[in-house]
């Protein structure tokens, strides 16, 4: 303990101090949203900022519930869960095939997937909206889910994990007479479980926060997500800061909680995704 | 390989069987990928050569592309977009490298605490975060004016997001805070993977901390740096949500970006063909930037 303290140099202390100041600054928006959501109108509009609500009130939340805020929350959960489930299933199958099978057209397909990943996905939103209207999915939550599942990031991530499965193991069960489906469910899936966990949490969070795609695809109040709901409050009732803060808190708290619970998997997901280079 | 050549008949059947089962596994993913990534991309390219509006669909060749370069607002949007990229990419990369290098050796709990904190704005989401920033930049009740006036730095209140001189810089600051989360996570992982025996060897040879960093660590985290530079470039080029939420491209087009202008043309004016042409142009620029960065990164090795 003593030696550790002695080893600290001025620069290390400087770094630690700066880090803590930055940490406060970066945590501030979330702190301000949560405390702000409990402030009354006078406190929230005060010129001298009230750092902690002196007269906490639930009034903002009560008024927020009158907007269909639970509906917004439900929609966001529905879209994120569906995208997550479908992405994990399709990516697990495709990642395994790309990693462990040798097939005609493999190289071409792989190149195509890489090129698609390097392109800005927001650019295709105009034609994507036209396509969704053509499919009769305009203003439908599936118009957000389907393109999210199509994005090839998950395939890369799970290909990475599938490469770690020993080929001998796959051959052994095949010799024992296991079919393709059985091999996949009894060997592959358990082996790539951490990868699926990482992809699930990553997809859930990024879908929840994909404001742009939701904005383009969803209009009517019954399909709005919590992100769209907050933006709507901001646009329509821009002076009611308390209500907006309550909306922002309702949108942020669940996703931050999920992130903190699963952050180990999440970190693993982005790190492994980058390794493919 | 040579083994396969010895038994061509059997291997052909094997390849065929493997190919069939591989595509069965790939099928669900490919349906989504082709249906909702490839088809829109092709549509985007094709319709960029058409005068495509609510009531019109006529082939005009490069008409949209020519119109683009004569469009004053497009030029402003291009200039602003490039400014965002040129400022955001180096600062995000350098800052996240500094934070990554400062925290990767810390105790696992402290490290994970800082990693979470810097990721927080990303997780909280652009919409919720922009609510707070909008208040901070507010002319009358905002934190910035209160603090700056209180300390005597400012004499009169500034409408930060409503002033042509400051609005784009405000956007860049917010973009910065929502961009560094992922690079920090990547740098912490990459620095943790640097071969410790190499570092020890350098230290035994009497290298200073700075020398060890530039001679040993920097080269081995080069692939990570490259990846970070490329993803930050792509994200900065596509900056849209913050602008839509905070300034709508104003005041006087001072925060207009290409992405914002595309959606203004396509969804407000129904100029789909024109919007798609700008989209293709943006994709080409991003591809060129990425290619240059890849080349530069590889020649550094």
- Can you tell me the ipTM of this complex? 0.87
Nearest chain B alpha carbon to A117: B37
In this predicted structure, what is the pLDDT of residue B93?
95
Question: CB neighbours (10 Å) of residue B208?
Answer: 10
* Per-residue confidence (pLDDT) for residue B9, from 0 to 100: 55
Closest partner residue to B29 among A93, A105, A245, by Cβ? A93
A227 at the B interface (CB within 8 A)?
Answer: yes
* Among B287, B263, B293, residue whose Cα is nearest residue B276: B263
DSSP state of B61: T
Instruction: Please judge whether A91 and B33 are an interchain contact, meaning their C-beta atoms are less than 8 angstroms apart.
Output: no
Chain A: closest CA distance from residue B43 (Å): 6
How far does A97 lie from chain B, in Å, by closest CA? 5
CA distance A81 to chain B (A): 16
The domain made up of A68-238+254-275 is a member of CATH 1.10.3720.10 = yes
pLDDT beyond 50 at B3 = no
pLDDT for residue B223 is more than 80: yes
The CATH number of B75-300 is 1.10.3720.10
pLDDT at position B2 is 41
| Contacts (Cβ under 8 Å, ≥6 apart) of B180 | B92, B95, B96, B99, B118
Domain ranges of chain A: 2-60, 68-238+254-275
φ, ψ for residue B139 (rounded to 5)?
-65, -40
CA distance A273 to chain B (A): 10
pLDDT at A51: 79
Flag whether pLDDT at B292 surpasses 80: yes
Give the integer Cα–Cα distance in Å for A209 and A250: 13
Q: Does A109 touch chain B (CB under 8 A)?
A: yes
What is the model's pLDDT at position B204?
A: 86
Mean pLDDT of B212-219: 86
Portion 118-147 of B in contact with A at CB < 8 A: 118-135, 140-141, 143, 146
Taking contacts as CB-CB distances below 8 angstroms, the residues of chain A near B118 are 22-23, 26
Does the beta-carbon distance from A22 to B118 stay under 8 Å?
Answer: yes
- Number of helices (H) and strands (E), helices first, in chain B? 17, 2
Nearest by CB to B37, from A90, A102, A150: name it.
Answer: A150
CB atoms within 10 A of CB A262: 19
pLDDT tens per residue, range B244-284 = 888 888 788 889 999 999 989 988 888 899 999 999 999 99
A 26-65: CB under 8 A from B: 26-30, 32-33, 45-49
Mutate to test the interface with A, among B127, B138, B145, B248 (most CBs of A within 10 A): B127
Best probe of the A interface among B131, B239, B257, B277, by most A CBs < 10 A, is B131
- pLDDT given at position B276: 92
CA distance B79 to B256: 9
* Range name among B39-48, B136-145, B273-282 with the lowest pLDDT average: B136-145
Q: SS3 letters for chain A? A: CHHHHHHCCHHHHHHHHHHHHHHHHHHHHHHHHHHHCCCCHHHHCCCCCCCCCCCCCCHHHHHHHHCCHHHHHHHHHHHHHHHHHHHHHHHHHHHHHHHHCCCCCHHHHHHHHHHHHHCCHHHHHHHHHHHHHHCCCCCCCHHHHHHHHHCCHHHHHHHHHHCCCCHHHHHHHHHCCCCHHHHHHHHHHHHCHHHHHHHHHHHHHHHHCCHHHHHHHCCCCCCCCHHHHHHHHHHHCCCCHHHHHHHHHHHHHHHHHHHHHHHHHHHHHHHHHHHCC
Of A86, A124, A208, the CB nearest to B41: A124
pLDDT digits 0-9 by tens, B58-85 = 888 888 899 999 999 999 999 999 999 9
Whether residue B29 lies within 8 A of chain A, CB to CB, comes out as yes
Report the pLDDT value the prediction gives residue A56, as an integer from 0 to 100.
82
Residue B58, helix vs strand vs coil: strand
Judged against a pLDDT cut of 60, whether residue B119 lies above it is answered with: yes
Spatial distance between the Cα atoms of A168 and A174, rounded to a whole number of angstroms: 10
Tell me which residue has tokens 């920090």.
Answer: B184
Nearest by CB to residue A30, choosing from B44, B120, B141, is: B120
Determine the pLDDT at residue A72: 92
Q: Verify whether the Cβ–Cβ distance B23 to A97 is below 8 Å.
A: yes
- B44:A47 CB<8 A: no
Q: Which of B18, B39, B263 sits opposite A101 (nearest CB)?
A: B18
Taking 50 as the pLDDT cut, the residues of chain A under it are 1-6, 276-277
| pLDDT surpassing 70 at residue B205 | yes
Is residue B206 pLDDT above 80, yes or no? yes
Burial B80-113 (b: 16+ CB within 10 A, else e): bbbebbebbbebbbebbbebbbbbbebeeeebbe
């Amino acid at each position: 303990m003593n030696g550790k303290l002695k080893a600290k140099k001025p620069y290390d202390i400087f770094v630690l101090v700066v880090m803590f100041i930055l940490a406060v600054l970066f945590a501030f928006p979330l702190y301000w949203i949560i405390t702000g959501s409990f402030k009354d109108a006078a406190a929230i509009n005060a010129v001298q900022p009230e750092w902690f609500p002196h007269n906490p009130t639930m009034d903002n939340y009560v008024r927020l519930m009158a907007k269909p805020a639970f509906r917004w929350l439900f929609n966001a959960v529905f879209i994120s869960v569906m995208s997550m489930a479908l992405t994990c299933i399709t990516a697990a199958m495709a990642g395994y095939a790309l990693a462990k099978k040798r097939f005609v057209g493999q190289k071409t397909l792989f190149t195509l997937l890489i090129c698609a990943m390097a392109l800005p996905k927001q650019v295709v939103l105009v034609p994507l909206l036209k396509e969704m209207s053509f499919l009769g999915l305009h203003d439908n939550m599936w118009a957000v889910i389907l393109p999210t599942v199509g994005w090839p990031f998950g395939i890369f991530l799970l290909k990475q994990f599938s490469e770690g499965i020993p080929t001998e193991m796959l051959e052994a069960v095949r010799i024992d007479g296991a079919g393709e489906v059985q091999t996949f469910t009894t060997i592959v899936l358990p082996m790539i479980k951490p990868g699926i966990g990482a992809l699930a949490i990553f997809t859930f969070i990024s879908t929840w926060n994909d404001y742009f795609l939701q904005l383009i695809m969803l209009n009517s109040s019954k399909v709005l997500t919590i992100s769209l709901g907050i933006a709507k409050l901001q646009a329509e009732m821009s002076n009611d800061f308390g209500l907006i803060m309550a909306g922002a808190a309702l949108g942020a708290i669940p996703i931050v909680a999920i992130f903190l619970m699963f952050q180990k998997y999440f970190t693993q997901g982005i790190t492994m995704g980058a390794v493919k280079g | 390989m040579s083994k396969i050549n010895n038994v061509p008949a059997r291997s052909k059947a094997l390849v065929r069987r493997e190919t069939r089962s591989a595509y069965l596994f790939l099928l669900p993913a490919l349906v989504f990928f082709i249906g909702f990534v490839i088809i829109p991309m092709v549509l985007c390219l094709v319709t960029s050569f058409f005068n495509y509006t609510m009531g019109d669909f006529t082939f005009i060749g490069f008409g949209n592309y020519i119109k683009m370069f004569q469009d004053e607002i497009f030029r402003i949007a291009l200039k602003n977009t490039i400014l965002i990229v040129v400022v955001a990419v180096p600062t995000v990369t350098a800052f996240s490298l500094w934070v990554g290098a400062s925290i990767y050796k810390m105790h696992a709990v402290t490290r994970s605490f800082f990693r979470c904190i810097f990721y927080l704005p990303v997780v909280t989401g652009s919409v919720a975060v922009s609510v707070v920033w909008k208040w901070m930049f507010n002319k009358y009740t905002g934190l910035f004016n209160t603090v700056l006036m209180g300390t005597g730095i400012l004499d009169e209140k500034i409408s930060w997001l409503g002033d042509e001189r400051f609005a784009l810089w405000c956007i860049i600051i917010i973009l910065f805070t929502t961009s560094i989360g992922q690079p920090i996570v990547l740098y912490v992982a990459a620095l943790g993977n640097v071969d410790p025996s190499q570092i020890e060897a350098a230290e035994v040879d009497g290298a200073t901390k700075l020398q060890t960093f530039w001679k040993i660590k920097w080269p081995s985290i080069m692939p990570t740096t490259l990846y970070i530079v490329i993803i930050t470039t792509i994200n900065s080029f596509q900056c849209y949500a913050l602008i839509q939420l905070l300034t709508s491209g104003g005041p006087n087009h001072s925060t207009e970006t290409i992405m914002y202008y595309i959606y203004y043309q396509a969804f407000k004016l129904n100029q789909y063909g024109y919007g798609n042409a700008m989209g293709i142009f943006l994709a080409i620029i991003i591809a060129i930037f990425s290619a240059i960065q890849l080349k530069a990164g590889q020649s550094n090795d």
